[in-house]
C-alpha cells in the first residue's frame, strides 16, 4: 500500500460501503495511468443501485471491493462514490457443513442449513458482500423464493446466463434441496430463513465463503 494509506474496513467488525455515484474505470493502483482492471456502473443488472465496499483510502482515491468475475479489488476516484455508510454485520458460509452463519457486532444471530453449488457448478470460495436486495414478486413459484441478496461475485461456470452468472443468497421453491450440493453456485436457504436474514442484514455486509 502507498505511504499514508488509510484502512477503512476490516470486513469483520466494521465495513464501510458506498453506492456508486457515477460510472468509472477501476484501476490496479491509485493513478489515472495505472492498468485498467474493471469498471463500475451505477446500476446492477436488475436495476438496483450498485454498491461497493470501501476497503481504504489514499489521497483522492478509494480502494474498493466491487462486482466482477475473478479478482474484485481495485482503485477508483473517491468522487465517483456517494458518502459511505457502515455495517457491523457479516455472513459466513461454510461449504463443508453446508451452513450459513450471520453475525452482528461479533455476536452470532443466526445459524441455518443451506444448499450450495453442485459438483459441476460449485459455490466459489472467497470474500464477497451483499451487493443488492431483491424482493421476488412471484415468490410462490420462483426458484429464488420470496427474497434474494445479489452478491458481487460471479460463477465462472454460468457466465452465459443473463447478468453474467451473478451469485446470490436466496430462498427456494425446492425446500428438500436444503443441506445438499445442488445449486448453480448460489446459496439457497429455506424461505422462512431468507426472510429472517433479510430483516437483519443489509447491503454492504461482507460474506466469507469458506471450506
Q: Known catalytic residues?
A: 170, 186
Q: Identify the burial level of 92 via C-beta atoms within 10 angstroms of its C-beta, where 0-12 means exposed, 13-18 middle and 19 or more buried.
A: middle
Amino acid at each position: 500500500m502507498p505511504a499514508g494509506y488509510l484502512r477503512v474496513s476490516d470486513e469483520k467488525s466494521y465495513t464501510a460501503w458506498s453506492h456508486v455515484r457515477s460510472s468509472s474505470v477501476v484501476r490496479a493502483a491509485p493513478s489515472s495511468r495505472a492498468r485498467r482492471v474493471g469498471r463500475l456502473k451505477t446500476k446492477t443488472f436488475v436495476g438496483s443501485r450498485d454498491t461497493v465496499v470501501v476497503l481504504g483510502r489514499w489521497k483522492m482515491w478509494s480502494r474498493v471491493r466491487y462486482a466482477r468475475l475473478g479478482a474484485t479489488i481495485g482503485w477508483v476516484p473517491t468522487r465517483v462514490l456517494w458518502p459511505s455508510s457502515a455495517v457491523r454485520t457479516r455472513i459466513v458460509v461454510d461449504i463443508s457443513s453446508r451452513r450459513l452463519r450471520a453475525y452482528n457486532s461479533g455476536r452470532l444471530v443466526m445459524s441455518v442449513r443451506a444448499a450450495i453449488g453442485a459438483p459441476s457448478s460449485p459455490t466459489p470460495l472467497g470474500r464477497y458482500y451483499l451487493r443488492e436486495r431483491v424482493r421476488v414478486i412471484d415468490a410462490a413459484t420462483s426458484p429464488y423464493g420470496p427474497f434474494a441478496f445479489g452478491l458481487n461475485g460471479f460463477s465462472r461456470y454460468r457466465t452465459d446466463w443473463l447478468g453474467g452468472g451473478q451469485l446470490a443468497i436466496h430462498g427456494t421453491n425446492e425446500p428438500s434441496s436444503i443441506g445438499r450440493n445442488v445449486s448453480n453456485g448460489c446459496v439457497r436457504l429455506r424461505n422462512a430463513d431468507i426472510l429472517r436474514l433479510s430483516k437483519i442484514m443489509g447491503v454492504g455486509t461482507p460474506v466469507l465463503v469458506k471450506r
